[in-house]
Structures are given as C-alpha cells and as structure tokens.
Amino acid sequence: MQTRSRILTVMLCSALLFAACTPTASVDEGSDPQVHSIDRKTLLDKIEGGWVGQMAGVAWGGPTEFSCQGKIMEGEARWKLNRINDAYKQDDLYVELPFLEAMKAEGVTASWTTFGEYFEDTKFMLWHANDAGRTNLQAGIAAPASGHYQNNPHADDIDWQIEADFAGIITPGQPEAAIDIAWRAGHVMNYGDGVYGGVAMAAMHSAAYFAKNVDEIVEAGRQAVPEGSEYRQVIEDVIAWHAQNPNDWKDTWRLLEEKWGQDDRCPEGKNTAFNIDAKLNGAYVFIGLLYGQGDFKESMRIAMHCGQDSDCNTSSVGGILGNWLGLSKIPEDFKSSLSRYPLFSYTNYDYKDIIELSEQLARQAVLMRGGSIEGTGDSEIWNVPASGQIAPPIIEQWPEAQNELPELTIKLQPGAEKMITLTAEASDADGISGYQWYFGDLSYAAGAKVSHTYRTAGTYEVIGYVSDQTGNTTWKSLQVEIEK
C-alpha cells in the first residue's frame, strides 16, 4: 500500500502438486500429540520464508496496485529477478518494524501504549488508517483511541491487515498468541473489522508453521475472527463459494463483488470503484490461498488478479505460504536475487536484523506459552504446545449509526500463588453481548468473571473488554504485580 497518491471446502493439494505443496519436512509431532517439535534450522527456514514471501509478493504486485478496481485484472507485472529488492521501500514491510522494535525493548508482552509510542515516533510515509492513527498519537490521542472509529475515519481500512504478519511469524504454532499481539497492536490504527484483518493474517502465519495443508491454514484464519462480525461472514462466504465451485476462482470473485464490493467506509473509497476495505481485500487473500492449492506462485497470481490493493494482498498470500513452505521451498526466481544488506526504508534494520529479532521474539513467545527449547545451536529442538480450537477476540464492530459506548468497571482480586480473579460489570442501552480479558502474558479468556494463573513473576497489563449487542466496545486496563 505504498502509492496511495494514485487515488487513490478448502482444496487440498492434488496428487500432481503434492511435492510442490508440501512444506519443509523436518517437523515432528513427536510422541506427545499436545506438542509440536521443530529443530532450529527448520524454524529459521520458516521464519525467513515468512519474510521473503511478503517481500516477493509486494514487489511482484507493486506495479499493479489499484490498477484494476472492481474488475478482474487481465495483465500482471512481469517478474524480474532483482525486483524482490523493491520490497525494502514498501510500507507493507517497513511499517512492521516499529512494532518489532517495541517488543525488542519491552518483550512480546509490550503494551498497546508502547506500540503506540514507537509508532508515533516514526518518520516514514503513511496513508489511510496508519496516517490518521499516527496523527492522532502525535496530537495526544493514545492507543487504542488513536485507531477508534470516533477518531479515525479509516478504522475499517486494510492498514493493519498488511502489517500484522510479524505477529504470526514470531509465534510459531501459537495462533492465540499471534491473536493477542495483533489485537493489541492493531488498535493503534484500526478498530473492529480493520483489526480483524490483521488478526486473521497473523493467525494464519502462526498456524502455517505446523499445518499439514492449506485447509488448516485457512481454518485458523476463520476461527480467529468472531462469529457475528462482517469479516467472519466474508471469510465464510468465500469458503462456501469455493466449496460450490472449487475449480474457477473467477466465479467466487464475481459473487464476492456482488455482495461485498461496495462495502467500503473509507472517505476516499465510499461510493467509488476504489476499495481499500480490509474485508474485501482480505477475501482476495483467502481466494488466493484456496484456489492456489499451496502453489506459491499461482496463489499469489490469483490474489493479484483479484485487483484493488493487489500488492498488499499478494504479499499476505506470499508471506503465509512462505511460513508454510520455508525459504528453501520458495521458487528460486523469487529469492535468488535477494540482497540482505539494504536497510528497510526509514529504519536502521536490514534483512539479517529482522530475522535475528524474529527468532529472539519467537523464543520468548514459545517459552512464555509453556513451551520448551532443548539443546544448542542448530541442533536445538523447540517444543511448542499444540493449539486446539482457536478462541477469537471479542465481537467488535463499527456501528452504522451513532451509538453510545458501554459503561464498564473492572476489579482485581489477588489469589494464592500466582493466581488472580477478575470481575467486570457493564451496562448499555443495547444490552451486553460479552466480556473478554487479556492477561498480558499472550493469553486471554472470555467471561464476566475469570481466574488466571501466571507462569512467572512480573508486571503485567491486564485489559478488560466489554461489547454491547451492536458490537460497540469499551475497555479498561490495570497493572498486576505477580511476585516470585
């Protein structure tokens, strides 16, 4: 999403494509079905695949961005071997780096206040929700209010969807940890469906590390978004249309355009062919994944041909499949000319830096979530707790009409050992639909009253959320000190 000034079920890999669709093989379920084990060399291959996939996708699609609005793209950018290095100047990549830098300073549990502070200090070019969010931050409107629809008319735009890849890359096989990070950081510039776009992408990145097929990756994205949201409905529409016609993605594209093609609340896109809405462009990502059958190039090509933000959507598909396949199985043409030395625009980070930082943060996330790491060097074995059904964030939607926010109070009761009990009370004229708690340790739970036990001592930011029957949310936070 760089050049805004221009005006701006699931199909398994077929037998014939199986070799090309199968990711790096040295991932072992082990004797414990509750644990995924992966050696460090394979893990790094997948981390690099996630980053290089993004770079390849945005570089390939860059010249086609918004060249086709509301129509299927007939032509495409010609891939040139050196084109991947164009990604160093793309906002799809450089906007991710202040969030990584915030976690480098404060760890993977960095608060959304910290995410906002690092984002506020950036000097790079921005557009839409990102630009409005940073303007709000610089005016003293802290996160998450900086992304709230009352302050940000671009709250449903694609911005966070194209930037949340890192949250899944650094949480291998832990979609709920990816969701936790994406939910906190995404409210710096987005709200509701705008945040869910990043949540879905991050969850798919994370699940891709150990997924057996594209089915599992897509299912992680579906589960990551709550029922009742428009974003979840878009995902389920695409999945259903694909099931009805698994051979022609263009039929699904046409059905999507008929139902969702005019759904855009962006000030520049409303009532025009230009559509920067997260849901519609996210649907193109799902179309690419479903119809591409795990083929790296073909999946990106389909997402690109869907049009609109065709570099960002191609980048999302490439990054997710890069996490699945690993760098070693990305086609040679898309990586052979990669230079690892340029700095990402407006940053002090080069390719090597982000790979090293991604591994460091992944190490933190795995250990914080109860995993273990054995051995040393490339012989390290990372044991990652396997995910079951993924719990989505609370329902949150930008109301169609003016609507009062719910009233919320939260209370903390310390318990024995490292346990706490949290209670919430809320009221709203529309009625209350649910409560959710983020415990500050990459975990969360739903309910008006919950108990939680921390694994380690420390200071944690707990966030309590309530949603009314329209999807309007209110939040409160408090600090928790857990002693040794």
**How many whole angstroms separate alpha carbon 9 and alpha carbon 328?**
29
pLDDT digits (tens, 9 = 90+) for 432-459: 999 999 999 999 999 999 999 999 999 9
Of 19-28, 105-114, 197-206, 409-418, which range is least confident? Answer: 19-28
What pLDDT score was predicted for residue 269?
87
Q: How far is CA 66 from CA 5, 7, 72, 271, 409, in A?
A: 11, 8, 11, 16, 45
pLDDT digits (tens, 9 = 90+) for 14-65: 333 333 455 644 555 445 779 999 999 999 999 999 999 999 999 999 999 9
Q: What's the mean per-residue pLDDT of the chain?
A: 93
Asked if 281 contacts 275 with a C-beta cutoff of 8 angstroms, the reply is yes
**How many whole angstroms separate alpha carbon 390 and alpha carbon 174?**
9
The domain limits of the chain are: 4-385, 407-482
Question: Residue 388: is it exposed, middle or buried by C-beta count within 10 angstroms (0-12/13-18/19+)?
Answer: exposed
**Helix, strand or coil, per DSSP, at residue 37:** strand
The yes/no answer on whether domain 4-385 falls in CATH 1.10.4080.10 is: yes
pLDDT digits (tens, 9 = 90+) for 280-312: 999 999 999 999 999 999 999 999 999 999 999
CA proximity to 256, closest of 295, 188, 220, 307: 307
With a cut of 80, say whether residue 2 has pLDDT above it. Answer: no
What architecture is domain 407-482?
A: Sandwich (2.60)
User: What is the DSSP track for 296-334?
Assistant: HHHHHHHHHHT-SSHHHHHHHHHHHHHHHH-GGGS-GGG
**Helix, strand or coil, per DSSP, at residue 133:** helix
Tokens for 222, please give them. Answer: 């579906």
What pLDDT score was predicted for residue 452?
98
Q: What are phi and psi of 468, to 5 degrees?
A: -90, -175
